[in-house]
Amino acid sequence: MIFGLDNGFTLLLVVVGMALSLAASAFVKSTYSKYDKIQSKKRVTGTQAAQYILKNQDIHNVGVQGIAGDLTDNYNSGTKILSLSQSTAQSTSVAAIGVAAHECGHAVQDAVGYAPLRIRAAIVPIANLGSAISMPLILIGLFLRGSFLVNLGILAFSMAFVFQVVTLPVEFNASRRALAILGEGGLLTEEELPMARKVLTAAALTYVAAAITTLLQLLRLIVIANNRRN
């Protein structure tokens, strides 16, 4: 392949990846904003919903706390802490309850030993290390024309893609659990459940976009490496 075409192709991969990430981020923010304006009929806050769900699921070793930021909600299986952002913790909106329930879904996964969650937790250190050392290895390998270092760098970066792939079933499953719990527990009405589903679907798409973006970046590195070797 001509060098100029290689450059154009790798640039296209970067542009497509950025566009996907921006589109997914904009979509989740707009969807959350839309349903954050609709107050749930039960008028429970995100924190109250999380506490109720954890108790209902017989999970007593998980703490609920507030954290700064918007849509920074997360569950830490290591510390057994469920953190809700400011936009979720004290809000009584359908969107906030949906997000809080999603994080509870992760806590339920942890409690029942959901395999993909355990696999993801196990590969986090490897994925983080791979992301940190991949580019230095590739750059040094290209500079020294050392195929081994380049290949090792690409292999290290591929662990970030593996992490993104494993994350997908974890996130989709947490949302399914959340919607089932919300329906059974009566925290949301039949009219409100589809709204929460739209919020969680939009959030899940950000993980799909992240996986595709990481894959495109991996392909870009492979193309650049092959081009320099030739």
Q: pLDDT per residue over 40-75, tens digit each?
A: 999 999 999 999 999 999 999 999 999 998 889 999
* pLDDT reading at 6 higher than 70: no
DSSP per position, 47-61:
HHHHHHHHHHTT--S
Residues serving a catalytic function are: 103
Report pLDDT for 15. Answer: 85
How confident is the prediction for the chain on average, in pLDDT? 90
Beta carbons within 10 angstroms of residue 13's beta carbon:
20
- What percent of the chain is modeled with pLDDT above 70? 96
In the chain the first and final C-alpha atoms are separated, in Å, by 9
Mean pLDDT, residues 126-141 taken together = 91
Q: How many helices (H) and strands (E) does the chain have?
A: 7, 3
Q: Give residues with Cβ within 8 angstroms of 90, minimum separation 6.
A: 45, 46, 47, 66
Q: Considering only 4-18, 24-38, 47-61, 104-118, which range has the smallest mean pLDDT? A: 4-18
Parallel, antiparallel, or unpaired: how do β-strands 74-76 and 81-85 relate? antiparallel
Report pLDDT for 138. Answer: 87
pLDDT digits (tens, 9 = 90+) for 199-222: 999 999 999 999 999 999 998 888
CA–CA distances in Å: residue 186 to residues 49, 52, 200 = 11, 11, 18
Report pLDDT for 229. Answer: 61
Parallel, antiparallel, or unpaired: how do β-strands 81-85 and 63-67 relate? parallel
3-state secondary structure of 63: strand
